[in-house]
Amino acid sequence: MSDRSMYERLVRPVLYRLGKGDAEVAHEQTLAALRLLGRIPGAPRAGARLYGAPAPRTVFGVRFPSPVGLAAGMDKNGVALRAWPAIGFGFVEVGTVTAHPQPGNEKPRLFRLVEHEAVINRMGFNNLGSEALAARLAAYGDLGYPLGISIGKSKVTPLEEAVEDYVTSLRRLYRYGDYFAVNVSSPNTPGLRSLQDAGHLRELLTALHTEAAELTVAGLEPKPILVKIAPDLTTSAIDELLQVCTDTGVAGIIATNTTIGRPGVETHPLAGEAGGLSGRPLAETSAKVVAHIHSQTGGALPVIGVGGIVEPSDAIRLFDAGASLVQVYSGLIYKGPGLIRRINRSLP
């Protein structure tokens, strides 16, 4: 029996029954198990040799041992960072983290659409705050792989004060991240997506780069700043956003976040739940957005492709569209860790 079918036939049914079917309970139990795995001497290194891929590449000045990473949202608070290489990931993005700790939206807030291999979430940036994450990362020390940190706006912070909220988190975490992702595209924090508008985005990115420059002068290494965008933007809005990113020195784009649309799942009983949709239904949209960015920038602005990867062919499709790196999250829920090994083995 293959590793993939073992997960789907034996492990997944057990996970799906946890918490009377509450997907968030399964999420938390999985993180707890991975945290224990990361504490077993030699386990992460052995797993990396077994599941990883020797396919290093350098993107926006950072050397990645493999181009397949864990997307933000899975390990928001960085509790299992020692374990992820054992599954085959070449890099990890923690967060989204906010300046203020916050519990997120009311539960239940995570839903599986199993027959569509899709997920709807309205988590709402539940996290312990950037100060707590900084303390945890300081205790870890060198992780041995690139770490991305996704930063967002605290719900309690008014939109007119959003810039300082992001800058505060960047300042606290700057020494620990290998790159930073500016999340202005989650549909689950009221008003957040308005920060993708050119004027707001220019102000935010200018402030973040100014803070980064000051930290660099103070002795820290310069770090790439990326922007994570929504899949629901029009082509003209994407082009306007790309111009702002180019003007302000953004190092790359993460495409895409979850969608507020319901492509292919309109008739599902859970389709009416508020939140962002991820998983297989997002594959086509994400690939189109990646391809457009790659074409529009002539490949000069690196793209991390994320959305809809549930098979190795989905990852290859994003690479073919122009992605330099890819990230996986929802695919883990349906295919398990064997998916990462199969993607790694499919790399040229």
Residues 33, 14: Cα–Cα separation, whole Å = 14
Cα gap 118→224, rounded to integer Å: 31
Q: What is the CA radius of gyration of the chain?
A: 19
Helix or strand run (H / E) with residue 110 = strand 110-113
Kindly compute the dihedral angle of the four CA atoms of residues 168, 171, 172, 178, in this order, to the nearest 10 degrees.
Answer: 130
Q: Which of 154, 185, 186, 330 is catalytic?
A: 186
Q: Is 194 known to be catalytic?
A: no
Given a contact cutoff of 8 angstroms between Cβ atoms, the answer to whether 297 and 324 are in contact is no
Q: How many residues does the chain have?
A: 348
- Following DSSP, what letter does each residue of 121-150 receive, concatenated? E-----BS-HHHHHHHHHHH---SS-EEEE
Give residue 257's region: left, alpha or beta (phi > 0; psi -120 to 50).
beta
Q: Are strands 91-97 and 225-229 parallel, antiparallel or unpaired?
A: unpaired
Cα gap 323→310, rounded to integer Å = 16
Residue where the block lists tokens 């959305």? 307
- 342 within 8 A of 329, measured Cβ to Cβ: no
Distance of CA 175 to the CA centre of its chain: 20
CA distances from 82 to 15, 72, 134, 139, 192 (A): 22, 16, 16, 12, 31
Count CA atoms within 13 Å of residue 249 on its CB side: 13
Positions marked active-site: 186
